[in-house]
Each structure stands twice: as C-alpha cells, then as structure tokens.
Chain A
C-alpha cells in the first residue's frame, strides 16, 4: 500500500484532481460504451420481434377476411 490514509489516497500527492479526472472520465466513457451497446442490442431485438408480431397479425387478418368473403358468398 502506497498511501498512509484515505485522504492521502484522494490527494494523490497533490495530483488528485488530474488523476481522478482521468480515471473518472475513462470509467464514465467505458460504462457509456458498454451500457449503450447492450441497450442498442436489446432495442434491435425488440424491434425485430415487434415487426414479426405485426406481420403475423396482418397475416391472420388477411386469413379472416378471406374466410368471411367465402361465407358471405355462400
């Protein structure tokens, strides 16, 4: 351990601001990248799933309409 107390750790020998700025910005950017990538993956999946559902609904509606036309004719 290089530091004697927690305040010495935060102070970083007078360079505290620069060291914590570096680590803070880096972590924030990396977490943004990670979370952003996960969110866009989930959004893409949900979007495709929605599209499939809509197609299925349209197919079902078309089928029902066709059936109704058949019963109307007879």
Chain B
C-alpha cells in the first residue's frame, strides 16, 4: 500500500489527481443534493410528533456528522504533517478547516431553528450544544493560526498542534448525549445497526448526507489545489499550469 501511495507525496501528482476526481464529486453533489432536497422538502412524510419541522433534520444531522468527520480528517492530516513532516498534509489542514467551520455553523444554526419550535428556546448551554460550539471555535482557531504566520511551515505546525489537541472534543460531542442529561436527543442514525427511523425518512436523509459528502469532496479539491499552487509557486509545473490557464482568457 505504501508503494502505491508514495507518488502522491509529490505535489504535482496530487494536484493532477484532485483535478481528475473533482468533476466526479461535482456531478455527484449536484445530482444527490437536488434529489435529496426535493425529496426531503416535498415527499418525505411529516413526523408524527414534530410535524413539518422535522424537515430540518435532513440538513441538521448530515452537517453535524460532517462537522465532526471533517475534524477527524483534518486532525489525521495534522498528525501526518507533524510526525512525518509530510508537507502536503499542511495544505489539506488549511483546505479543510474552513469547510468544517461552515458545516459546524450550519449544524448550530439549523439546531437553533429546530430547537425554538420544539424545545421553546434557540439555545441552551447543555453538553451537546456547548461542545459543538467549542468545535466551531477550534476550527476558527486553526484558521486563525494558519493565517497568523508568514512562514507557511510554522503556521502549519501551530495549527496542526491545535487541531490535534482539539481531538479530545470529538468523543465529548459524540457521547455528550449519553454522559450528561441533555435536552438534545440521542443518536437516531448510526453506522452500525439499523437506523431508528422509517425507511421513507431514511432514504432522503441518505441522499442529502451523500450529497453533502460530495460537496465536501468537491470544495476540498478546489481549496487543496489553491493551497498546493500557492505553496509551490516557484516550481516550473505550477508556472506552466498558471500560464496555460490564463492565456485563453487574454486572447478573448
């Protein structure tokens, strides 16, 4: 496996790889999200207790799962960068942080908009909500540290350490609904075992979830490419690439 992975340590190989997979992510996102949103808003049944407000579920839960999932991916990249001095991993960390922050913000906003009609309050300082808010601050901290240094290598190290320390928050988010008495309900959907919900609600959820994953992949490709070319701007292959892409526009 290491032999197979080895060429991707080269920024040029990685760049062209992301260029190849990017359109697939783009089209998958477009298809899955258009089906998923229409299904979630128009065809999925209303919940017998929560009525139509249940439709918030189809964006709240996928983005909440992704907010933690992206953090796990970002922390893995940070570990690779700190332990093996793998430079491209730094590019991944700074590419992923803003995406994770956006999904955390979506989870918080949709949670508040769902909490107001169901719990009677926009916000409570309970374990699940507070730990998710801390996740947002961790993302913002990683972004801020990445921008705080002119030297990209130093910035990557500082941001990577914060990302790794923040991993402690992930199990707290996951088990907060079990460890403490919270207003937030327990998990409805889990990877292992059958979901505790009806199939006609589960399918639109799956489409939205996979669509969001596709979007994360697509935006990650774009941001990763930006990071790679800005970190390698002296390399001949980046120069050729940039000049190639700009010439047709000038000709117009």
A and B are partners in one complex rather than unrelated chains = yes
Q: Which residues of A contact B (CB under 8 A)?
A: 1-3, 9, 12-15, 18-19, 21-23, 25-26, 29-30, 32-34, 37-38, 40-41, 44-46, 48-49, 51-52
Given contacts A18-B114, A30-B215, A45-B246, contact A13 B51 (CB under 8 A): yes
Chain A interface mostly helix, strand, loop or mixed? helix
Q: Which of A25, A37, A40 contacts B110 (CB 8 A)?
A: A25
Rounded to whole Å, the gap between the CB of A53 and the closest CB of chain B is 9
B contacts with A, residue count (CB < 8 A): 42
Which listed residue, A13, A38, A48, touches B222 by the CB 8 Å rule? A38
Measured between beta carbons, the chain B residues less than 8 angstroms from A25 are 106, 109-110, 113
Q: Are the CB atoms of B46 and A13 closer together than 8 Å?
A: yes
User: Closest residue to A43 on the B side, CB-wise?
Assistant: B226
> A32–B46 Cα gap in the complex (Å)?
30
Q: Which of A2, A14, A21, A45 contacts B42 (CB 8 A)?
A: A2
B105 / chain A contacts, CB cutoff of 8 Å = 29
Chain B contact surface mostly: helix
CB atoms of A3 and B42 under 8 A apart? yes
Known: A15-B117, A51-B233. A45 touches B245 (CB 8 A): yes
Q: Which B residues lie within 8 Å of A41 (CB)? A: 222-223, 225-226
How far, in angstroms, from A60 to B56 measured CA to CA in the complex?
61
18 pairs, CB–CB < 8 Å, chain A vs chain B: A9-B41, A12-B53, A13-B51, A13-B52, A15-B53, A18-B114, A19-B56, A22-B56, A22-B109, A23-B41, A25-B113, A29-B106, A30-B106, A30-B215, A40-B223, A44-B230, A45-B242, A48-B242
- A22-B56, A37-B223, A41-B223 given; name 20 further pairs at CB < 8 Å: A2-B43, A2-B46, A12-B55, A13-B51, A18-B53, A18-B56, A18-B114, A19-B113, A23-B59, A25-B106, A25-B109, A26-B63, A34-B215, A34-B219, A37-B222, A37-B226, A40-B226, A41-B222, A49-B242, A49-B243
